[in-house]
Structure 1
Amino acid sequence: MIFIIFFIAAILVVTAAIHLNHCGDVISKKTSLSGAVVGTFLIAGATSLPELTTSITAVYIDNPDIAVGNMLGSNVFNLLILAMVDLFYRKQRLFQRINQHANLPSAWISLTFLIIISLSLLVPESIQLFNIGIEMYMIVIFYIFSMKFIASDYEDDDGSPLTKDLPLSSAIKGFLIAVVVVFVSGSILSIAGDHMAEITGMNASFVGSFLIAASTSLPEFVSVLAAFKLANYNMAVGSIIGSNLYNLKLLVLTDVLYRKGAILNSIQGTHLYVAILGITMTLFLIYTLIRPNRIGRLGHYIMPSLFIITLYFVTSYMIFFK
């Protein structure tokens, strides 16, 4: 029965995420907001709702490994999604069709957050203030000071046509309805995935970082594909980078809600591997954003995406058998 519930929830998440992108595309075309801004803030925030619900639920049932693993694992899975889409549509050369400057600030900030978390995981007992790890305060302070870099220097998209024209008011209403559906169905998807994991007997660290993280990242996967189909490449990349930023900010919230001390002090050491994986994959992403657009050979172009995909599966194998 739990497998049927999981499948139905997955269908609802996919359907809502597609509608989310259609409405987001209309909003980006009919307002002064660019596709990168819509992807980074509106869609990324909405598609991160399943991660939020899953981690809050994990805190409630006193399973910090799933709470943290879900956030960190979703980040690396999101980057895997982007790499796989880039590899599959390699002839379109995704990263040569976007506003690289618009997406770089969010990527650098996400990298900094992951470095802070990794350094904290290396310390046996991190400093706490009001039962919250000092690293979470650092993330919040850094994010506040970096907001001006995220909000500035965005450009409009290339004027690609709308596949589904809607009045702006209808697009906004449709977007909000899709958000609710993603929240509810994504939550069911996460809970069902948790029960499925319990049946298989896998450890909580692997379940949170890979199984549940992959489940809650399903909206991001559909968002990228739908945005790519709409030829809104800035939205495709922006939704992934923005979603990773949201996930790391939501990790702060899980620490606030976890009242048994700093949440990073209560998890297994294998999460450090996931955090380091996130750093490495983000560095490859940044490289694709800053390298010159004129790359002759297709094999040279797809190398970063191939490295990202390989790193993900090698690390997954290592953690599963650790």
Structure 2
Amino acid sequence: MDIPATSLSQSVVLFALCASVVWVAGARLAYLADSLADRFKLAKSLVGLLILSLATSLPEVATTLSAAVQQSRDLVLNNLFGGIALQTAILAMSDFWSKGAITNYPRKANHALEATLLVFLLSLALITTNLSETFVLAGIGLGSVFIALAYGGAIWLLRRYDGSSDWVPVDLPDPEPLPFPAPSGLAVTGSSALIWQAIAACGAILVFGILIVFLADRIADQSGLGSGFVGVTLLAAATSLPELTTSIAAVRIGAYTMAISNIFGSNLIMLVLVFPADILFRAGPILQNTSATVGLALSFGICVTAIYLIGLLVRRKPKVGTVGLDSILVLITFLASLVAYYLAR
């Protein structure tokens, strides 16, 4: 995509404008997904895992495949893996809009299972990078193949487990009136109109999300920051903006399980994108000879996911105000990761 030449200040302004469009489209998509889930009697956790997470991951998909075609290993991996801790921190930030700790709301174990499977896939990726993708077939690393197969198995298991009721939590939060209900007009809007609006919102997220990515890359060049540091910070933040707005909007209307599954589902997608990127990257296996920031990003991804896994299992957890201690710890860990990325750049 060709964007006319701009100064650093102009690039920042355009970045902010595109981010505003993505913010509005993402919030609208969360409202639409919630209404469609109610309309078609779908589990909101399943909608978040399979539909909302894919829609909000469209900029990541476009950026990853484009960078892989351009043979930019660091940009691909730092964007994907750096976004995992960031998107988990987004879930922590959305906790400030919830009525109590967000991890107290799930009534089934599928969110804990999502977190466990995510830790498993992150561990596979970390093992593969530490072995420098030793096993290669037709230029594609077997590690990325195993990650793709594990992702398929994870989605199959999560779909099968979604209807299970063999795990029943206690001490559920009492339902309270929501200060920010979904737009009332959606209740009387026809199903086909809701679907078309959702498609339009996805289109806006894709187009303006890609523009944000190109502008973030330009800002990185114009500001003189390193590509590795930018990949796990600015670029990952740009591509994670849809997850931020949809998660906050979902929490504000009380769709807590959809918000959690949206983030965990997006993180799972970030990992499986390694496989198509490996196919397009022809300079060797993409998980071979990776930079230090890649290993750090995977390690921090495991850390923040494990914190939320503990929060999902421990129902009576300490809180800081109305926010769960697990969310506070995730935010602290994410801030620590930024320092680590900067030192390792």
TM-score range, shorter chain: over 0.9
What is the aligned partner in structure 2 of residue 65 from structure 1? 74
Deviation for aligned residue 1:104: 2.2
CA 1:287–1:150 in structure 2 vs 1: closer, same or farther (change >3 Å)?
A: same
Checking the alignment, whether the CA contact within 8 Å between 1:99 and 1:155 is kept in structure 2 is no
Provide the aligned C-alpha RMSD in A. 2.2
What is the aligned partner in structure 2 of residue 4 from structure 1? 13
Alignment partner of 1:46 out of 51, 55, 59: 55
- Following the alignment from structure 1 to structure 2, what is the Cα–Cα distance between the partners of residues 57 and 190? 11
Task: Describe the SS at the equivalent of 2:213.
Answer: helix
What is the aligned partner in structure 2 of residue 128 from structure 1? 136
CA 1:140–1:125 in structure 2 vs 1: closer, same or farther (change >3 Å)?
A: closer
Alignment partner of 2:85 out of 54, 72, 76: 76
Deviation for aligned residue 1:48: 0.3
CA 1:91–1:178 in structure 2 vs 1: closer, same or farther (change >3 Å)?
A: closer
1:205-236 deviation per Cα after TM superposition (whole angstroms, max 9, x unaligned): 11111110011101100011110111111111
Deviation for aligned residue 1:27: 1.0
What is the aligned partner in structure 1 of residue 170 from structure 2? none
- Following the alignment from structure 1 to structure 2, what is the Cα–Cα distance between the partners of residues 91 and 147? 29
Deviation for aligned residue 1:195: 0.7
- Following the alignment from structure 1 to structure 2, what is the Cα–Cα distance between the partners of residues 77 and 144? 24
Checking the alignment, whether the CA contact within 8 Å between 2:97 and 2:252 is kept in structure 1 is no
**Could you tell me the TM-score, scaled by structure 2's length?**
0.86
Deviation for aligned residue 1:313: 1.2
What is the aligned partner in structure 2 of residue 111 from structure 1? 119
- Counterpart of 1:318, as a letter, is A
Checking the alignment, whether the CA contact within 8 Å between 1:64 and 1:263 is kept in structure 2 is yes
What is the aligned partner in structure 1 of residue 192 from structure 2? 169
- Following the alignment from structure 1 to structure 2, what is the Cα–Cα distance between the partners of residues 65 and 224? 28
Checking the alignment, whether the CA contact within 8 Å between 2:97 and 2:248 is kept in structure 1 is no
CA 1:169–1:138 in structure 2 vs 1: closer, same or farther (change >3 Å)?
A: same
What is the aligned partner in structure 2 of residue 178 from structure 1? 201
- Counterpart of 1:306, as a letter, is I
Give identity over the alignment, percent.
25
- Following the alignment from structure 1 to structure 2, what is the Cα–Cα distance between the partners of residues 125 and 18? 39
Deviation for aligned residue 1:89: 4.0
What is the aligned partner in structure 1 of residue 168 from structure 2? none
Deviation for aligned residue 1:47: 0.4
- Counterpart of 2:225, as a letter, is M
Checking the alignment, whether the CA contact within 8 Å between 2:119 and 2:306 is kept in structure 1 is yes
Deviation for aligned residue 1:6: 1.0
- Following the alignment from structure 2 to structure 1, what is the Cα–Cα distance between the partners of residues 148 and 63? 21
Deviation for aligned residue 1:299: 4.3
Deviation for aligned residue 1:266: 4.5
- Following the alignment from structure 1 to structure 2, what is the Cα–Cα distance between the partners of residues 199 and 183? 24
What is the aligned partner in structure 2 of residue 317 from structure 1? 339
Unaligned stretches of 5+ in structure 1? none
- Following the alignment from structure 2 to structure 1, what is the Cα–Cα distance between the partners of residues 283 and 84? 25
- Counterpart of 1:132, as a letter, is I
**Could you tell me the TM-score, scaled by structure 1's length?**
0.92
Deviation for aligned residue 1:285: 1.2
- Following the alignment from structure 1 to structure 2, what is the Cα–Cα distance between the partners of residues 47 and 151? 20
Checking the alignment, whether the CA contact within 8 Å between 2:78 and 2:293 is kept in structure 1 is no
Task: Describe the SS at the equivalent of 1:321.
Answer: helix
- Following the alignment from structure 1 to structure 2, what is the Cα–Cα distance between the partners of residues 217 and 151? 25
- Following the alignment from structure 2 to structure 1, what is the Cα–Cα distance between the partners of residues 30 and 91? 16
What is the aligned partner in structure 1 of residue 22 from structure 2? 13
CA 1:226–1:145 in structure 2 vs 1: closer, same or farther (change >3 Å)?
A: same
- Following the alignment from structure 1 to structure 2, what is the Cα–Cα distance between the partners of residues 113 and 153? 18
- Following the alignment from structure 1 to structure 2, what is the Cα–Cα distance between the partners of residues 146 and 302? 27
- Counterpart of 1:101, as a letter, is A
Relative to total residues, which structure has the larger helix share, 1 or 2? 1
What is the aligned partner in structure 2 of residue 218 from structure 1? 241
Alignment partner of 2:319 out of 298, 307, 310: 298
